[in-house]
Structure 1
Amino acid sequence: MSIKVMIVDDSAVVRQVLSEIFNASSGIEVIDVATDPIVAMEKMKQQWPDVIVLDVEMPRMDGITFLRQIMASRPTPVVICSSLTQKGADISMQAMAAGAVEVIAKPHAGVKQFLQDSNNLLVQAVKAAAQARMSRMRSLPPTPLETRPKLSADAVLAAPTGQQMFQTTERIVIIGTSTGGTQALETILTKLPRTCPGLAIVQHMPEKFTASFAERLDRLSEIEVKEAASGDRLLPGRALIAPGGKHMMIKRSGAYYQVEVVDGPLVSRHKPSVDVLFRSAAKFAGRNALGIIMTGMGDDGAKGLKEMHDAGARTIAQDEDSCVVFGMPKEAIKLGAADEVMPLDSIAKAICR
């Protein structure tokens, strides 16, 4: 059965190109398009879509207001297609806070070529959104998958040697998540005290969006939350979020830990990749780390969590009932990578323990 999609965008070019891309994809059907939310609401009275692809800045009614109305009346997966600027990122954060499932960053110039080049990314974003359990959505997720040759973490960092890292009093928490993860991270980070261990986090999200996401969580949380930069230390009461479009690794510095932000190829079809972060934790932290894999489509992080487990780290997977998409945790559990499987509401307490 095809995923029924409605496109709401004031650009005729965007509507045309997106329609062509989705209709050419197996399993997706564009049932209608609209120039603005007012037109969309009238059309949706006739046929309700499974997924809405929504611009943010439009005439007559902005996308955020429209999104809030949808979530209040009939929660439906929404993919935000927003400009790749800091302003666009800030607005999209508001949209995701209102309940959007995925975000795609589009440029101001050359939009038609970008959309055509991003065919697979767009299709995967819609398919991921269609799987979302809207009853679990309260906040903001992100990023799209991209179907290129699927590389492993070997492309960025060599595998652990099996040699155990000596244990120190410095404890760190390593988290990886994707679709539904922004909501899940907000739930966790806003419950943590300043005495909690330092956290390194990969949330699949486009470039420029992670800074706005970190700033939003910093305002909501007692702990410090920031977009990571190379050399930042993992300190108690601080969470570092990997920048979109870069990989993040942890490194040992004496008895302490810091992060390194690097470029490189997509790993498990993502950048940042959870597998890269988890492998670095297995290699440089071992039993000094707690690894957590949460809601998300695909399998990024499953192998990396197994490497952390094998290196002596304690590992946790979010349970199916509390996930928006039970993909990444499911794959990790299948590999035997998780010591414990627990609901989202229990993870903050586990971190504090």
Structure 2
Amino acid sequence: MKNKIKVLCVDDSALIRSLMTEIINSQPDMEVVATAPDPLVARDLIKKINPDVLTLDIEMPRMDGLEFLEKLMRLRPMPVLMVSTLTERGSEITMRALELGAVDFVTKPRLGIREALLDYTDLIADKIRAAASAKIQRLLVKTVAPGSSTDGVKNVSAIAQTPLLGSALMITEKLIIIGASTGGTEAIRHVLESLPPDSPGILIAQHMPPGFTKSFAQRLDSLCRIKVKEAVHGERILPGHAYIAPGGYHLSLTRSGANYVTHVDQEEPVNRHRPSVDVLFDSAAKYAGKNAIGVILTGMGRDGAAGLLKMRQAGAYTLAQDEASCVVFGMPREAIMLNAANEVKPLAEISSSIVMHLMSFGAGRNRV
């Protein structure tokens, strides 16, 4: 029999520790091996029991969760699932936790805690399974300020200086469509901050609950040369802009005359997700066809795989992140198995692959 996933729960609330233990121990493939009321107790327990996954609260006595996470990922990297409060400050701190190396997060309800957390049982269990299989690195990708000099940004900037790229990227019928889940917030950042400011319009579906996508978009907007915002219904999609599906809403593409336009709704979840990557990719296949570039990044499950295949069949250029660079190689693997990807690339090469495709597209038009 396969060993159970060993989980250490760290939270200053005895109620939360008890509920997390009840939820996790109800699953056949995982168990809580210890709990801790603060990071200092957790530090000693990690050395003693060597857990597979840590669930970590953010606001705790003696040492807050972010400080502990930063030390942990530097000195003893391991899969961490954050337990975050659904507040504006909480969402900003959660984005920072993901940047520091947390695999994912779950929201801690403010009212009706017991009932709400028990309703999350399947979600929490899935996230713990994903965390247990995630690739964790000691050296994290550092945040790059706009204009900073790193290999990835430097390569794209050099290409962007050529006249060919500028003429290609301003062609407004081209679109970039991106889908991701577990590990996707940092993967998306890596892709977007390496794209030039005259990129085609970009639509993004990242599995994320309500209340967090606004902070995610604001953070990306501060780091990237393109404009990044949370999508609203019925807005025209502009070059140099990226639109992120709001948490709890599907984002899809439609047309109004010659213009691409966003469609945002709360139709039923697809593949258990809202936003769903398949919903976005299906709409891109229908309305953008060969003018779209589809990208599927790290994530648990299969959402987006069938949609990416539809995009490829409609003539789109499609990319999947490779296994070695994924935090969780679920969604890209499913897409690759369906032969939905024209190319499979490491995360570090996806932006340059997008740019090179746009350059070749522009060159082809210039020859006509």
**TM-score when scaled to structure 2?**
0.86
Q: Which residue of the partner structure matches residue 115 of structure 1?
A: 117
Q: Percent identity?
A: 52
Contact 1:275 1:303 in 2 (8 A): yes
Q: Secondary structure at the match of 2:179?
A: strand
Alignment pair present for 1:208 and 2:211: yes
Alignment pair present for 1:248 and 2:251: yes
Distance 1:308 1:137, change over 3 A: farther
Distance 1:136 1:290, change over 3 A: farther
**Structure 2 counterpart of 1:221, which letter?**
C
Distance 1:139 1:110, change over 3 A: farther
1:276 to 275, 279, 283: 279
For residues 215-234 of structure 1, the aligned pairs below 5 Å read 215-234=218-237
Per-residue CA shift, 1:101-145, capped at 9, x if unaligned? Answer: 1111122111111111111011001001111100288379xxxxx
Contact 2:234 2:263 in 1 (8 A): yes
| Unpaired segments ≥5 residues, structure 1 | 141-167
Moved over 6 A (4+): none
Alignment pair present for 1:186 and 2:193: no
Contact 1:99 1:137 in 2 (8 A): no
Q: CA RMSD in A?
A: 1.5
Contact 2:270 2:279 in 1 (8 A): yes
Distance 1:169 1:44, change over 3 A: closer
Distance (Å, rounded) in 2 between the aligned partners of 1:284 and 1:322: 31
Contact 1:8 1:15 in 2 (8 A): yes
After TM superposition, give the deviation of residue 320 of structure 1 in Å: 1.2
Higher helix proportion: 2
Contact 1:291 1:305 in 2 (8 A): yes
1:14 to 10, 16, 27: 16
After TM superposition, give the deviation of residue 246 of structure 1 in Å: 0.5
Contact 2:213 2:246 in 1 (8 A): yes
After TM superposition, give the deviation of residue 252 of structure 1 in Å: 1.2
Q: Which residue of the partner structure matches residue 179 of structure 2?
A: 176
Distance (Å, rounded) in 1 between the aligned partners of 2:172 and 2:115: 52
Aligned residues: 326
After TM superposition, give the deviation of residue 291 of structure 1 in Å: 0.7
Q: Which residue of the partner structure matches residue 69 of structure 2?
A: 67
Q: Secondary structure at the match of 2:234?
A: coil
Contact 1:199 1:239 in 2 (8 A): yes
For residues 31-180 of structure 1, the aligned pairs below 5 Å read 31-135=33-137, 138=140, 170-180=173-183
Q: Which residue of the partner structure matches residue 270 of structure 2?
A: 267
Per-residue CA shift, 1:66-108, capped at 9, x if unaligned? Answer: 1001101111111011111212111111211111111111221
Contact 1:299 1:332 in 2 (8 A): yes
**Structure 1 counterpart of 2:111, which letter?**
A
Per-residue CA shift, 1:292-331, capped at 9, x if unaligned? Answer: 1111110000011111111111111111111111111111
**Structure 1 counterpart of 2:325, which letter?**
S
Contact 1:139 1:182 in 2 (8 A): no
Distance (Å, rounded) in 2 between the aligned partners of 1:87 and 1:113: 24
Q: Which residue of the partner structure matches residue 299 of structure 1?
A: 302
Distance (Å, rounded) in 1 between the aligned partners of 2:216 and 2:320: 23
Alignment pair present for 1:330 and 2:333: yes
| Unpaired segments ≥5 residues, structure 2 | 143-170, 359-368
Q: Secondary structure at the match of 1:300?
A: coil
Q: Secondary structure at the match of 1:45?
A: helix
Distance (Å, rounded) in 1 between the aligned partners of 2:345 and 2:198: 22
Q: Which residue of the partner structure matches residue 261 of structure 2?
A: 258
